[in-house]
Amino acid sequence: MQGANLVGFNTNFLPTFPILKTTPHLFCHLKQAYPTASSTFASMGNDEFTTTTTTTVRVPRVLTVAGSDSGAGAGIQADMKACAALGVYCTTVITAVTAQNTAGVQGIHTVPADFVEKQMLSVLTDIGADVVKTGMLPTVDIIRSICDVLKTYPVKALVVDPVLVATSGDELAGPAVLDVLREELLPMADLVTPNLPEASALIGGENVVNISDMREAAQAIHALGPRNVLVKGGHLPGTGGMVDVLYDGVDWHELSGSRVETHNTHGTGCTLASAIAAELAKGHPMLPAILAAKQYLADTLQQSAGLNIGRGAQGPLNHLYKLSNWGKTSTERQFKPEALLLYAVTDAAMNKRWGRSTADAVRGAIEGGATIIQIREKEAETGEFLREAEASLKVARHYGIPLLINDRIDIAMACDADGIHLGQSDLPVAQARALLGPEKIIGVSCKTPEQAEKAWKDGADYIGSGGVYPTTTKKDNKTIGLDGLREVCYGSPIPVVAIGGISTSNAGQVMQEPRPQNLKGVAVVSALFNQADVVASTQALRSVLARTVKKSSPVVPLL
């Protein structure tokens, strides 16, 4: 391991992991994490998803040797979550079991060194590891066992997080371990990541309180043998910014970042070291791995700032925020059927004719009372469509109104829109659901009850049904009339919105009583956007709708 060259780190050594081709949802996650291997899938036709054969995906591996945190904010638990979030398989060797929560450490039960060794051998003789990351190492014997095992089973990189004190201030390793850490483990390390108190302890107790001290400490620690030293400035008093100092024996890097104001900081050190290990395991050289890991930590801190877990001073991070459903129950999906009341579907050509951008048109519609927006763009190139969608989404998010994209799942995913509206000849609903996940809204155009039932079975949230009246906005569109609309409603298990030729003059007729319970509103293009004043046109339609909606049904409030 000594002198391991991380630059140009080769990923070909990565092991393979069999995946069933019958799992499109899993495939989509893997596709994001392992683009190389996914090309096999990308060339497959849809029908091949139903064939049970296997192919292989390379999986980067990190082995963490650390303590367990019963509160799951730091230690082994943080390491596993960080690695999982970054697409890396994380194996675990537990050095100590701590009784710990957001208030502090209530007890430590150390695992005997020979059992630490046993765990390491179980992992390394079978699964293997690309990178080993160490955290809490409470005894001299444990450190020696780790060094011995790593000499027999060398890995591509060793990341040492010299955990001496928990974020709460509780001591996790006594002074006896310091010498062995400095003399035996650090010389084997590719990276060591002390915070300011740890850097101070490693250099014999001298204060490290500013950037010049951090540089001196990095140099002194580097002299102990590790290839790279990252002194973390998170504890630097004063300024709102933060600087970490990286030294590789030749070059210095001052890596700055902005501080996220939050009490949810428990486990940040473990998370950063694991994220660096994960990025190294994927094959990145040291500096890019550190930068990527810092970005992941900053994003995670940002996403965790408002969480309320535990009663202590330091709460945990939401490492898996990208997948997270925290705070939402399964019945509390993002989609609320009442949002279909006044569905504004944009038309760039119409808006251009009236001299406004799509985002301005969206703002006008929302201010006039639109309850959901769809960006429908038939002419623009992909880049322009995306920019239009992003600008409109900013507006919609500001007002808390859901915004969907017409037809293009790539655009919907790229701008993280609230969902997509699909036609009968677009991407099949089941595939769209697999790609977008359970939270996003999917609407489907249906002209028959059979189509509506299928859309529901495949995972749609609502049906758009029409044209109810003739329209020039969509060419060659069959008109199904009010009767056709009602047939679709009665055959549809999910909410329906009417579309096609609807305006203030006929919206009352569409929504008149008695109407099917699941007919929730009208979707309109020209009645809002082929008009000089979008706000006034939307207000006019909204007041027609207000008269038709029963007092008992929940109505989205006007802004």
Ligand X SMILES: Cc1ncsc1CCOP(=O)(O)O
Ligand Y SMILES: Cc1ncc(COP(=O)(O)OP(=O)(O)O)c(N)n1
Point out which residues bind ligand X (CB under 6 A): 466-467, 471, 473-474, 477, 499-502, 524-527
Query: Of 435, 428, 470, which is closest to residue 451 (Cα–Cα)?
Result: 428
Q: Which does 135 bind (CB under 5 to 8 A by kind): ligand X, ligand Y, none?
A: none
Q: Which does 524 bind (CB under 5 to 8 A by kind): ligand X, ligand Y, none?
A: ligand X
The answer to whether residue 11 is catalytic is no
Output the CA angle 540-543-544, nearest 5 degrees.
Answer: 90
Q: Which of 162, 315, 443, 484 binds ligand Y (CB under 6 A)?
A: 443
The answer to whether residue 443 is catalytic is no
Tokens encoding 500? 């096609």
Intra-chain end-to-end CA distance of the chain, in Å: 63
Q: Does 423 bind ligand Y (CB under 6 A)?
A: yes
Catalytic residue among 265, 271, 371, 473: 265
* Interface segment toward ligand Y; rule CB under 6 A; list 16-24, 84-92, 319-327, 421-429: 421-429
Q: 162 vs 521, which CB is nearer to ligand Y?
A: 521
Q: 200 vs 406, which CB is nearer to ligand X?
A: 406
Catalytic residue among 67, 267, 283, 419: 267
Q: Which does 421 bind (CB under 5 to 8 A by kind): ligand X, ligand Y, none?
A: ligand Y
CA separation for the pair 311, 141 (Å, rounded): 35
Catalytic residue among 67, 133, 167, 270: 270
Q: 227 vs 474, which CB is nearer to ligand X?
A: 474
Q: Cβ 499 to ligand Y, closest distance in Å?
A: 4
The answer to whether residue 268 is catalytic is yes
Catalytic residue among 102, 139, 268, 358: 268
Query: Of 282, 37, 15, which is closest to residue 124 (Cα–Cα)?
Result: 15
Catalytic residue among 67, 75, 135, 269: 269
Q: Does 407 bind ligand Y (CB under 6 A)?
A: yes
Q: 102 vs 374, which CB is nearer to ligand Y?
A: 374
Q: Which of 296, 343, 385, 456 binds ligand Y (CB under 6 A)?
A: 343
Beta strands in 297-448 (DSSP E): 342-345, 372-375, 403-406, 419-422, 441-445
480 in Cβ contact with 466 (< 8 Å): yes
Q: CB-based contacts of 238: which residues, under 8 Å, 6+ apart? A: none
Indicate the residue type of 205: G
How many residues interact with ligand Y (rule CB under 6 A)? 16
The answer to whether residue 110 is catalytic is no
CA separation for the pair 151, 166 (Å, rounded): 29
Tokens encoding 320? 């898996």
CA separation for the pair 123, 377 (Å, rounded): 53
The answer to whether residue 134 is catalytic is no
Q: Cβ 354 to ligand Y, closest distance in Å?
A: 20
CA separation for the pair 275, 277 (Å, rounded): 5
The answer to whether residue 312 is catalytic is no
Q: Which of 145, 264, 271, 374 binds ligand Y (CB under 6 A)?
A: 374
Residue whose structure tokens are 């006044």: 342
Write 212-215 long-range contacts (CB < 8 A, 24+).
Answer: 214/243, 214/245, 215/245, 215/247, 215/252
Q: Does 78 bind ligand Y (CB under 6 A)?
A: no
Q: Does 474 bind ligand Y (CB under 6 A)?
A: yes
Q: Which does 27 bind (CB under 5 to 8 A by kind): ligand X, ligand Y, none?
A: none
Catalytic residues: 232, 265, 267-270
